[in-house]
Structures are given as C-alpha cells and as structure tokens.
A and B are shown apart, each in its own frame.
Chain A
C-alpha cells in the first residue's frame, strides 16, 4: 500500500492543528494516514509514505502526523516501525526526523503509563 502526500492530501502541508490553518498534520493524520495505517494493519501489509512533491514540511506537521499516531491514536511504535516505509528523495533527512518523532512519542506514552501505575 502507498500514500503520496502531494497528490492525496496537499502540495503545501501546513501547521500542526486543524485550528491553526489549512492542510494541518492533524487533518492529514485523521483523514488520510490513520485509515490507511489501519487498513495496512488489517491486511498485514506495509504502508509506503511518499513525502516527495510538496513545497516542504514543517517540524510540527510531521510530528503531529506520525508522532500523533502514537500519542493520539494509541498505536505502538512496535507495530508502526516495521510496517511504515518512507520515500523522500528530495529531502532524505526528513526520514530520520520522523523516526525520532515517533520514538519520542512512544517514550512519552511509556512515561505516562509508568506514572499512571
């Protein structure tokens, strides 16, 4: 399975939250990314996210989209890491940034669970 942000969502990704402006990370996650992720989990297949073709990404958009899957949608890094693949020929440095965001989100979730206990 594949999702190309530029053609399926927007060529000009925006802020973190829907309340902050158009084409936010929150909107992308809720409307496009999460349904595809759930479908991929269901089919036990990989999901390739193509980041190329947009005018550029802000840190918050990426964190809210991918870190948000863990923070907000309660999916674990252990499930997401092996199933998500990224393509970014234009800005390959974005991939480790996204992976860092996801790892940090998981750390926060683990810390929250630890506090609750």
Chain B
C-alpha cells in the first residue's frame, strides 16, 4: 500500500470518527459547550498549550540526546574493533614491546567503553556484553607468554611454546591458532555488544 493510499484511508477514518462523535454529542447531549469564554478560560487554555509544547520539546531533546549517546558509543565500539584489527598484525609475533603497547591500547580502550556504559546506567546485558577483561587477558597470555625454564611441565611443552630473541617474539603454531580464535571471539563479542546497544 502506497503512502498516498495510507493517507487517504487515515483521512477517511478521521472523518468518520469525527462524524460519529458529532452524532453522539448531538443525540445524547452528554457534552455541552458554554459559548461564553471567560479570561480564566483563556489563561487556562494558553497554560495547557505552553505546558504541552514544553513537554514535547523536552521529550524530543531527550530522544535526541539518547540517540547521540548511542551513536557515540557505537563509534567507540567501532574504534575498539579497529584497534583489535591493528593488533592482528602480531598474530605471528613481533617486537615484544610493540605487542605490549598494542595490548595496552586495547585494554585501556575497552575499559573506558565499559566505564562509560556503567556510568550511563545502561542495561545489565549491555554492560556484561561490553566486559572484555577476560578475553584480553587470554589474548595477552597467548601473545606474550614464554616458558619458565625451571618448571618441568613448561619445559615439556617447549616445542609448542613461543620463543624470544633480541626482544622479538615468535609464536608457536599452536599458540598462533589459539590466538586467532581468541581474536575472532573478541570481534564477535564486540559485534554482539553493538547489537545489544543498538536494540536498547
């Protein structure tokens, strides 16, 4: 159905409703109008009108603020996603201090988004969905952990451990695969948080 047709149907229904109301009033005389308007009536009507305009304006402003906040937060999530994509270049390893810096950026950004959502008193499901602490901890461990020489079980797993030489870490294949999975998990979590926020 086109918009034009919808408009016609709306007008027809409004006309019928108006006519019906007129008939009812005319028949039952349930409602009568005083043809004389006092100064008090005028003031009362104007006050009602002003209040209605103010309430509408306030509600519109509030809706606008909520919309802007939501857009701002969604942009923050996009930025977090971009930071994670930036980190992906270290999936095989790299300069350890650069990896640490990239992880810190990821951690600080995710913490600040989470903090803002808590401060804005967003619904619990959104706050839970935006908590990336656990996944970042796992990513940090996979990307920067190296074996302890003195501990036997670490040494036994040495073939699947990462190596560091001159401050450059080379991730073992097993860790690389696990890291890829964790990065994908976090991407998914960001998207889910964005969807929850968008629906709220």
Contacts and interface: CB of A to CB of B under 8 A. Distances in A.
A35 B107 CA distance: 31
Contacts of A72: 150
Nearest to B163: A20
Given A20-B146, A60-B145, A14 B104 contact: no
Nearest to B108: A90
B118 interface: no
B100 A108 contact: no
Interface stretch (A40-48, A51-59, A76-84): A51-59
Contacts of A64: 148
B117 interface: no
Interface stretch (B13-21, B120-128, B133-141, B180-188): B133-141
B137 A20 contact: no
A97 interface: yes
A84 to B, nearest CB: 20
Given A15-B167, A20-B164, A58-B96, A92 B148 contact: no
Nearest to B166: A21
Interface centre among B101, B137, B164 (most CB of A within 10 A): B164
Dominant secondary structure at the A interface: loop
Nearest to B107: A91
Contacts, number: 84
A4 interface: no
Interface residues of A, number: 28
Contacts of A14: 96-97, 167
A22 B108 CA distance: 25
Interface string A77-101: 0000000000000111100010000
B151 interface: yes
Contacts of A71: 148, 150-151
A29 interface: no
A5 B99 CA distance: 18
B91 interface: no
B103 interface: yes
Contacts of B3: none
Contact of B146 (A13, A54, A55, A60): A60
B101 A55 contact: yes
B91 to A, nearest CB: 16
B137 A97 contact: yes
Interface in B165-190: 165-169
Contact of A21 (B96, B99, B148, B151): B96
Contact of A57 (B100, B105, B108, B146): B100
B70 interface: no
Given A21-B166, A57-B100, 8 more contacts: A15-B96, A15-B169, A22-B167, A56-B100, A56-B101, A59-B140, A60-B164, A92-B111
